[in-house]
């Protein structure tokens, strides 16, 4: 691109990825942590993850921190790469433990029963991996706090 030309990619693209990803994960994390939006809350989440998914409590706690805290970090651009790494890990586990058996597409009935395929999770994983690699962009707290 010619020098002096407007390049929205560097200026605003990371922010346009951060806002929806951060909101989505803060909402999902608040379901697990606080029981908001029809969620089970902390106790219910620990029970479900252990009994139905075989996930030990320490990893459930890390998932909740990654979703709620990571969602906040992504949304504000604070510790963006660490937050994106946590969210990426959560998405990989969700794909493997929950959604893979249902195939690719959302809202599908398959031999494993009615469930959600990996399509949505792959999109979220891609967004998180972009932020892990590129960082939070110009409009993030990381730039203010760490002078990057």
**Could you read off the pLDDT of 82-112 as tens digits, one per residue?**
999 999 999 999 999 999 998 898 876 666 5
- pTM value is 0.87
| Average pLDDT, integer, range 112-127 | 88
pLDDT at 11: 74
* CB atoms near residue 6 (< 10 Å): 7
- The 8-class DSSP code of residue 38 comes to G
- What rounded mean pLDDT belongs to the chain? 91
pLDDT at 4: 54
pLDDT at 128: 98
The residues, any chain, with a CB within 8 Å of residue 79's CB and separated by 6 or more, are: 73, 142
Task: Determine the Cα–Cα distance for residues 88 and 6; give it in Å rounded to an integer.
Answer: 31
- With cut-offs at 50, 70 and 90, classify the pLDDT of residue 1: very low
**Which tokens is 108 given?**
């599908």
pLDDT digits (tens, 9 = 90+) for 23-45: 999 999 999 999 999 999 999 99
Using a pLDDT cut of 70, give the percent of the chain over it.
Answer: 88
Which range among 62-66, 88-92, 140-144 shows the weakest confidence by mean pLDDT? 140-144
Query: By C-alpha distance, which of 83, 67, 89 is closest to 132?
Result: 83
Give φ, ψ of 114 to 5 degrees. Answer: -80, 135
Domain boundaries, the chain: 13-146
């Amino acid at each position: 691109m010619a020098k002096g030309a407007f390049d929205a990619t560097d200026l605003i693209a990371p922010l346009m990825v951060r806002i929806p990803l951060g909101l989505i994960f803060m909402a999902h994390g608040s379901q697990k942590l606080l029981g908001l939006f029809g969620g089970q809350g902390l106790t219910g989440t620990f029970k479900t993850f252990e009994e139905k998914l075989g996930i030990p409590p320490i990893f459930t706690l890390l998932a909740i921190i990654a979703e709620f805290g990571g969602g906040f970090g992504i949304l504000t651009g604070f510790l963006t790469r660490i937050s994106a790494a946590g969210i990426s890990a959560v998405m990989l586990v969700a794909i493997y433990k929950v959604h893979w058996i249902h195939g690719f597409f959302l809202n599908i009935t398959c031999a494993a029963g009615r469930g959600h395929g990996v399509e949505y999770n792959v999109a979220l994983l891609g967004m998180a991996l972009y932020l892990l690699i590129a960082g939070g962009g110009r409009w993030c707290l990381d730039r203010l706090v760490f002078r990057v």
